Structure 1
Amino acid sequence: MNGLVRRFRGLPLRSRLALLVTVAVTFAVAASAVACWFVVRNVLVDSLDDALSEAKVAPAQVSERVGPDGQCQRTIITGDADNPDIFKETVQVVDSGSGHCVIIGKQSLDVTVEDRAVARSGSGYANHNATASNGDEYRVLTYPLDGRPGLAISLARPLSEVDDTLNNLVLVLALVAGIGVLGAGGAGLWVARTGLRPVDRLTAAVEHVARTEDLDLRIPVEGDDEIARLSESFNFMTASLASSRDLQQQLIADAGHELRTPLTSLRTNIELLARSEETGRAIPPDDRKALLASVTAQMTELAALIGDLQELSRPDAGDGGGKVQVVALHELTRAAIERARLRGPELTITAELAPWYVRAEPPALERAVVNILDNAVKFSPQHGTVEVTLDRGHLTVRDHGPGIPAEELPHVFDRFWRSPSARSLPGSGLGLSIVARTVQSCGGEVALRAADGGGTEASVRLPGAPMPPPEAPSAPEAFAQ
């Protein structure tokens, strides 16, 4: 059995479908044929019973052949014009004991319990099958003999009348069933080929993509069935892969562009220093100091850019990234503000921080908050003010700088995007991308908008709670907002 299953599974899908359709139709046809045979047989037997009931022998005809002592006068008749219908039957007299005698016909019939019961009771009737002395099967109708208590008449006709018709029916059903099974096999193969044609197109498309890496291929979608849904899913998958590939190529191109500028500057400065050493012409101390400061700044910018790229390439939180734990957002923001004050000592940074605890990766969330504050510090005027508030998970950072034009706001979270007015300032254009990625991984939202009265306001909403849970790692439900 297991071998048959393995061989069946080894067949092509269309062959399996055609075989299953053929087997299903074969069983259906066989069941229908068997049911038809039984129905016809019952109808024929009922018809034979009706014929026996209509051909009952008159009691007078029987009485004159049965003597007072119960002995029968047997009559063998091969044909008679007076009553030809009677001579189709075999007539047998049965008593309530074990005696019986044939009065019309050639063969005696086996006497059953039903026959004796009718003779004994003198009422009712019995229909049953019986075997004749020569082995033939007969259909028997037994009924009481009027005027002769204890005697009954068994009227019988051969079942060959039914069997011949049933045999012919078997031949017809077998022929029809055979034709039906062959037709079902052909129809199953046609249905399998027709039904799997969309799958063949999908298979060809997948093989084409695997062979050529052409992600622009789309499969026409027809209808709304499972195949259409599969085609839509394939088209969506290839579109997503194409978009991901484009984003990857764009990231590589943007990263190469961003790396080229500090590397070019760094190379130029180092070549100047090397040429000075080779030629023996000393660079003035002030110029040498400026060159070394520029080299240091370019190396710092490269390190920051590489760190930003590593952060963007790191898997999302909860999918293989750092450890997620309960973080006091107000304390983390306060630490980030202290770092921002070191980068803008001439600025005034005010803070109103209400307690708020969130589930996040502490380094990633701190970096996001620092990036937001760095932007505020970078674009604030000298001796300006940066206002930081945290209220029930809503962190806002507002500066009083030149602001961001409305047409540029949709692009501020794009990778490597930098406002034309900020391209002369240090930075990689990845800071806000990292902020958006980190906040979204924590289940929060981030937005940048123009502030009333000038400047820019960054808004971050993070789900959490004002109090830490009793057991922070095992009670994430306390942070449902």
Structure 2
Amino acid sequence: MTIALVMAVVIVAFTSLIYLFTSSEMKDQLDQSLQSESTRVTRLVEAKTDWTASGYCEVVGSPACSKVIGSKDAPGDNGKDLPVTDAALGVAAGTHRPFYANTTVNGAGVRMLVTPLSEDRALLTGLPTAPVDTAIARLAIILVGFAVVGVFIAGIGGYLSARHGLRPVRSLTETAERVAATRNAGHRIGVEGTDELGRLAAAMNTMLAELESAQNAQRQLVADASHELRTPLTSLRTNLELLERADLTDTLRADLQAGVRRQMVGMGALVEDLIELARGEEHIAADDVEMQSLLRHCLERAAQNRPGITYRLASPAKAHDDGPEAAEPLCLVSGDAPRLARLINNLLDNAGKFSPPGETVTVTATTHGQEMEITVQDRGPGFAGEELGMVFERFYRSATARGLPGSGLGLAIAKQTVLAHGGTIEAANTGVGAAVTVHLPLAAASTP
């Protein structure tokens, strides 16, 4: 509607300018004609030809009328000829400049010019204004009609344009109302064009897609958690019911109590994994984390938890050295230190779980341009070929891992953390075991 209003103002202004310019030009032409007639009559009078000034202006019958007055004449206006005014007498006496004036003769409009003559006289020349007035009135009617039609067309065009332009807004509003009413983020807005409203609709669709993805992930997480918690809860309830029996031997009671403690520890670990998994969509704190120090700390922790496995950190040049070795460059990753530590701990725990006692888990940390590569390699059985595409799925456990402790969430959490930090993760078999490789972007303060 703003465009229509602007167009209406432009049309009115344009027609007004045309009217003012055209009417001014027509009046100027009338004055020029009056000047020419006055000059012609002045020459006849000054030449003292046989010329008699008309005493009455026959406005309709003749194109012009004229009258000679003297400075001693008496002023007056009988309405039937050109009026003698004090100003006209002043022109005859030489005390007033020539001038134009509008007057009425015989009830009709006349444009009068008063010019000086010799011998204290003045010439009054008049031309009827009816033709010019009629033409100006006719022009005004035409321009007003044009303006009305133009404003009407502008209004219709503005309404249609606004209706078409606001279609995405209506669709957006309807979609938002449907989502609010149904709590279903699967609705989408039809995107048309690349203007601001089109971009708004596209942004709304992106937001709805993210919301739908979050809802689906939430539902999946709740379903998976319910499924995974059902079995240990059932087992725990059974053991607790058995412990209530009075006929249990001390040995059996001790075994049941130990089983209950193990199940509670396992359920606690599962709940922690679920909480970590639920944090996947949270904002990542943008702190510079020194990865070499973090890796050494995680290796020490892993060695304490699994004393039968040797953990070592090696750079490419020192891959065969014994004991942890820190790479020389300063490797800073922008992210959340606790979550990055949980990522490394999950990878080390997973590698140690599948490594035979006495074997070594090797961690290699290298930099390539603006990227850091961390590889955790074990000497276990590796991944089955059909499992490589599923190892990062939630609650997935291979056939060889079903007898081992764990929730099946470790690698899923690792992948989620890596993606949240803008990196990538992949799993592969090395021939002597399995390897999981993580790529993370380096912070700007890192040194090559």
User: Fold conserved (TM > 0.5)?
Assistant: yes
Equivalent in 428, 434, 437 of residue 456 of structure 1: 434
- Judging changes above 3 Å, is the alpha-carbon distance between structure 1 residues 284 and 77 closer, same or farther for their aligned structure 2 residues? closer
1:327-338, aligned counterparts within 5 Å?
327-338=289-300
SS of structure 1 residue aligned to 2:379: coil
What is aligned with 1:212? 182
Equivalent in 82, 94, 101 of residue 130 of structure 1: 101
Does the alignment pair 1:250 with 2:229? no
Q: Deviations over 1:435-478 (max 9, x none)?
A: 233344444x242332433312222344557xxxxxxxxxxx52
Equivalent in 264, 267, 274 of residue 309 of structure 1: 274
Does the alignment pair 1:413 with 2:392? yes
Q: Which residue identity is paired with 1:212?
A: T
Kept after mapping to 1: 8 A contact 2:374/2:437: yes
Measured in 2, the distance between the counterparts of 1:292 and 1:420 equals 28
Kept after mapping to 2: 8 A contact 1:353/1:389: no
What is aligned with 2:248? 282
Q: What's the CA shift for 1:305? A: 0.9
Q: Deviations over 1:396-425 (max 9, x none)?
A: 211111222454334333332333432332
Does the alignment pair 1:347 with 2:309? yes
Q: What's the CA shift for 1:32? A: 2.5
Does the alignment pair 1:403 with 2:345? no
1:293-308, aligned counterparts within 5 Å?
293-308=258-273
- Judging changes above 3 Å, is the alpha-carbon distance between structure 1 residues 154 and 418 closer, same or farther for their aligned structure 2 residues? farther
Equivalent in 410, 416, 422 of residue 401 of structure 2: 422
1:198-277, aligned counterparts within 5 Å?
198-275=168-245, 277=246
What is aligned with 1:434? 413
- Judging changes above 3 Å, is the alpha-carbon distance between structure 1 residues 461 and 64 closer, same or farther for their aligned structure 2 residues? closer
Equivalent in 41, 46, 49 of residue 23 of structure 2: 41
Measured in 1, the distance between the counterparts of 2:436 and 2:403 equals 22
Kept after mapping to 2: 8 A contact 1:327/1:359: yes
Q: What's the CA shift for 1:387? A: 1.1
Q: What's the CA shift for 1:131? A: 4.5
Q: Which residue identity is paired with 1:283?
A: T
Equivalent in 376, 380, 387 of residue 351 of structure 2: 376
Q: What's the CA shift for 1:369? A: 1.2
SS of structure 2 residue aligned to 1:394: strand
SS of structure 2 residue aligned to 1:478: coil
- Judging changes above 3 Å, is the alpha-carbon distance between structure 1 residues 478 and 424 closer, same or farther for their aligned structure 2 residues? same
Does the alignment pair 1:447 with 2:425? yes
SS of structure 1 residue aligned to 2:406: coil
What is aligned with 1:89? 65
Q: Which residue identity is paired with 2:254?
A: K
SS of structure 2 residue aligned to 1:304: helix
- Judging changes above 3 Å, is the alpha-carbon distance between structure 1 residues 347 and 149 closer, same or farther for their aligned structure 2 residues? farther
Kept after mapping to 2: 8 A contact 1:89/1:156: yes
Q: What's the CA shift for 1:155? A: 3.8
Does the alignment pair 1:61 with 2:44? yes
Q: Which residue identity is paired with 2:100?
A: N
Does the alignment pair 1:31 with 2:19? no
Measured in 2, the distance between the counterparts of 1:195 and 1:326 equals 47
Q: What's the CA shift for 1:267? A: 1.9
- Judging changes above 3 Å, is the alpha-carbon distance between structure 1 residues 454 and 168 closer, same or farther for their aligned structure 2 residues? same
Q: Deviations over 1:216-249 (max 9, x none)?
A: 3334444555544444444333333222211111
SS of structure 1 residue aligned to 2:83: coil
Measured in 2, the distance between the counterparts of 1:57 and 1:388 equals 115
Kept after mapping to 2: 8 A contact 1:109/1:130: no
What is aligned with 2:321? none
- Judging changes above 3 Å, is the alpha-carbon distance between structure 1 residues 164 and 283 closer, same or farther for their aligned structure 2 residues? same
The Cα RMSD (Å) is 4.3
Q: What's the CA shift for 1:430? A: 1.9
Measured in 2, the distance between the counterparts of 1:455 and 1:383 equals 14
- Judging changes above 3 Å, is the alpha-carbon distance between structure 1 residues 222 and 350 closer, same or farther for their aligned structure 2 residues? closer
Does the alignment pair 1:388 with 2:363? yes
Measured in 2, the distance between the counterparts of 1:92 and 1:423 equals 129
Q: What's the CA shift for 1:160? A: 4.7
Q: What's the CA shift for 1:168? A: 3.8
336-345 vs 248-257, greater mean Cα deviation? 336-345
SS of structure 1 residue aligned to 2:244: helix
Measured in 1, the distance between the counterparts of 2:417 and 2:312 equals 24
Measured in 1, the distance between the counterparts of 2:22 and 2:411 equals 85
Measured in 1, the distance between the counterparts of 2:288 and 2:189 equals 47
Structure 1: runs of 5+ lacking an equivalent: 1-16, 466-476
Count of aligned pairs between the two proteins: 423
SS of structure 2 residue aligned to 1:389: strand
Kept after mapping to 2: 8 A contact 1:269/1:291: yes
Kept after mapping to 2: 8 A contact 1:65/1:73: no
Kept after mapping to 1: 8 A contact 2:58/2:65: no
- Judging changes above 3 Å, is the alpha-carbon distance between structure 1 residues 142 and 265 closer, same or farther for their aligned structure 2 residues? same
Kept after mapping to 2: 8 A contact 1:109/1:131: no
Q: What's the CA shift for 1:306? A: 0.9
SS of structure 2 residue aligned to 1:457: strand
Does the alignment pair 1:108 with 2:78? no
Measured in 2, the distance between the counterparts of 1:403 and 1:364 equals 26
